[in-house]
């Protein structure tokens, strides 16, 4: 028997089970990083002005709030950033009030006259301000009635 023909390796060999566990752990970590970077990371913020139009005749209110948006244009869960709102134009149309902590502001119109209110909204985690516009208009029937009276 020749000792050079028999090969006895003393290197430890990895079993299939260990290889499968290592690959599945690596895949799980990669999937977690993908979900975090694409779904849970903020790309930009969007504003909601609800409702966008008010009508004269009675005091009414508009709610202004912001939320974070991910890479898939979806809303990030539990993202209610703190905002600060400034009234740029239309201060004679109503007043601003903070509601719901730092996360929402309310514009309360006096309901006496129509016009446009322009707001500058600052989000604490975002370097650029955003603009919001609220239109306060007369109801169509009332406007039509005033137009007819002027024509006579």
Domains in the chain, number: 1
Sequence-separated (6 or more) residues with CB below 8 Å from residue 143: 137
pLDDT tens digits, one per residue of 31-71: 988 887 777 777 788 888 888 888 888 888 899 988 888 88
Residue 26 lies in a domain: no
What band does 86 get if pLDDT is binned at 50, 70 and 90? very high
Q: Which domain holds residue 69?
A: 44-146
Residue 78 lies in a domain: yes
Residue 91 lies in a domain: yes
What band does 151 get if pLDDT is binned at 50, 70 and 90? low
Euclidean distance between CA atoms 104 and 127, whole angstroms: 19
Residue 131 lies in a domain: yes
Residue 38 lies in a domain: no
pLDDT tens digits, one per residue of 87-124: 999 889 888 988 877 788 999 988 888 889 999 999 98
Residue 31 lies in a domain: no
In the prediction, which pLDDT does 146 show? 54
| Whether the predicted pLDDT of 4 surpasses 80 | no
Of 18-27, 129-138, 139-148, minimum mean pLDDT range = 139-148
Q: What is the average pLDDT across 69-85?
A: 84
CA 8 to chain centre: 64
Pairing of strands 130-137, 53-55: parallel
What band does 130 get if pLDDT is binned at 50, 70 and 90? very high
Q: Is the dihedral of CA 48, 51, 55, 59 positive or negative?
A: negative
Q: Which residue has the higher pLDDT, 54 or 6?
A: 54
Residue 51 lies in a domain: yes
Residue 21 lies in a domain: no
């Amino acid at each position: 028997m020749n000792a050079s023909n028999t090969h006895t390796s003393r290197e430890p060999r990895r079993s299939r089970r260990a290889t499968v566990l290592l690959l599945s752990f690596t895949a799980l970590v990669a999937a977690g990083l993908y979900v975090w970077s694409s779904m849970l990371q903020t790309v930009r913020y969007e504003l909601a002005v609800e409702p966008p139009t008010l009508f004269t005749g009675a005091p009414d209110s508009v709610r202004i709030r912001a939320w974070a948006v991910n890479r898939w244009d979806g809303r990030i869960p539990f993202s209610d950033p703190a905002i600060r709102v400034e009234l740029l134009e239309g201060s004679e149309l109503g007043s601003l009030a903070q509601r719901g902590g730092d996360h929402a502001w309310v514009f309360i119109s006096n309901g006496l006259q129509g016009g446009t209110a322009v707001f500058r909204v600052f989000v604490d985690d975002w370097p650029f301000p955003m603009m919001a516009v609220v239109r306060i208009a007369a109801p169509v029937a009332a406007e039509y009635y005033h137009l007819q009276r002027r024509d006579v």
